[in-house]
Structure 1
């Protein structure tokens, strides 16, 4: 009972806090996932991102003026870089959807330091009431394609399940304000990043479907267990492992995930 009350207190405090993220709200593509988890008595989300494509500048302090660049141009670039600062870097561009080549070109025109182009997939941190709840959510994540997911237990007993993937992308584009890549290469990077974003959204959809199925299955078992003795709990758990909706998601998704992973890997191992 003490653990139950402590979890409820943690959940209330977390969900009542102001969202201090850069966007200030939950990303549209994962609002359904966040709502389902926060409506459950077993979970609540602590942070999330549906996935994003970003162009960041490592900082204008590293910039060395080119002999061909006048002072006015330099000051203009520095001013642009300082528009949005986060963790000693400038965000020149960010989107949670697919991007265009012009987005990168425009961002590079505003750069004055070391620019990096990144794709970051869906990530979700969920605090769980019990370890078994975290294990169920972990199974859902792994079988949905988020195979870098994991569970951590803090000193105060906080159980956090992190939904993570490995199909990231991080490529340097400029050094001290000087672009290092060609226009054709930028176009290629945009194509690769957009393919990864499409696959990311597919995995999010699978995660939501498997999550709904697993939680519904678990709720049915919890309801039925109220009318039986304690010894039936073992049988219920045994049946859950044998006839789990997560396994159903696994059988229906394994072939698709295998094909998609192979497709992304062909010719793109350099970026993962």
Structure 2
């Protein structure tokens, strides 16, 4: 457990390597909430953004924009206007897509159960090609429609971040209470003892059966035995 704490300290001491160079304001409360707990460490985050990304026009059959090979003609963490997009498109020389990317958060967790607490995924995104080799392939009317859709997604994204923060705060408090509950600890110990006794009885029955057939037993491997007990507890 100490190793996780050391890794977390080293990670949080690193300089911010993102293009923005700092934490998004909307993502800050969630990031601070998690980093304030010993069992979690955030590694990267984005509160959500609208991007005009330009990639290579070498492959006309592929609309995949590789992050390392793309240029951002425009990026904003707020809603935008058609004029913002049209002005950015004037600089286009390759294939350009309009993307809305929702809130994303990457977190290191001390144990699997901690990761399960945070397991949330979303399909709340948008990616539409607008130009090819610098030539606009859609009408301005369609771009205006896309901006309307993207802005609505951005507004919904903000609501989802707030909702996620509130739910996470409650979940963390509940998890802490459960971990510190004497009754829960007693119950877990009782289950362990019960299963350990059952395993001992089963092992005794096996020993007795083998002795009746005059077969010599091999010494029991402690590691395998412990793993078997652990598997029973997990089941």
- Work out whether the TM-score is over 0.5: yes
- Give yes or no for the alignment of 1:33 onto 2:30: yes
Q: How far apart, in 2, do the equivalents of 1:195 and 1:106 lie?
A: 21
Which residues of 2 match residues 41-190 of structure 1 at below 5 A?
Answer: 41-59=38-56, 62=58, 87-138=68-119, 141=120, 148=121, 165-190=122-147
- Give yes or no for the alignment of 1:20 onto 2:4: no
Structure 2: gaps of 5 or more residues: 59-66, 191-235
Q: How far apart, in 2, do the equivalents of 1:136 and 1:89 lie?
A: 34
CA pair 234-52 structure 1, distance change in 2 beyond 3 A? farther
CA pair 209-230 structure 1, distance change in 2 beyond 3 A? closer
Q: How far apart, in 2, do the equivalents of 1:53 and 1:104 lie?
A: 10
Q: How far apart, in 2, do the equivalents of 1:176 and 1:135 lie?
A: 44
How far 1:214 sits from its partner (Å)? 0.9
Q: How far apart, in 2, do the equivalents of 1:132 and 1:224 lie?
A: 17
How far 1:221 sits from its partner (Å)? 2.7
**After superposition, what is the alpha-carbon deviation per residue over 1:89-136, rounded to whole angstroms, capped at 9, x for unaligned?**
211000011111111100111111111110111111111111111112
Q: TM-score, normalised by structure 1?
A: 0.63
Paired residue secondary structure (1:193): helix
Q: How far apart, in 1, do the equivalents of 2:107 and 2:149 lie?
A: 29
How far 1:30 sits from its partner (Å)? 1.1
Q: How far apart, in 1, do the equivalents of 2:185 and 2:125 lie?
A: 46
**After superposition, what is the alpha-carbon deviation per residue over 1:127-152, rounded to whole angstroms, capped at 9, x for unaligned?**
111111111222xx3xxxxxx3xxxx
Q: How many residue pairs were aligned?
A: 183
How far 1:229 sits from its partner (Å)? 8.2
- Residue 187 of structure 2 is matched in structure 1 by 232
| 2:161 aligns with one of 191, 196, 204 | 204
Structure 1: gaps of 5 or more residues: 63-85, 142-147, 149-164, 236-272
Greater CA radius of gyration, 1 or 2? 2
CA pair 119-234 structure 1, distance change in 2 beyond 3 A? farther
Paired residue secondary structure (1:87): helix
**After superposition, what is the alpha-carbon deviation per residue over 1:149-194, rounded to whole angstroms, capped at 9, x for unaligned?**
xxxxxxxxxxxxxxxx212111111111111111100100000101
Contact 2:178 2:184 in 1 (8 A): no
Q: How far apart, in 2, do the equivalents of 1:46 and 1:34 lie?
A: 9
Q: How far apart, in 2, do the equivalents of 1:10 and 1:124 lie?
A: 18
Q: How far apart, in 2, do the equivalents of 1:32 and 1:167 lie?
A: 21
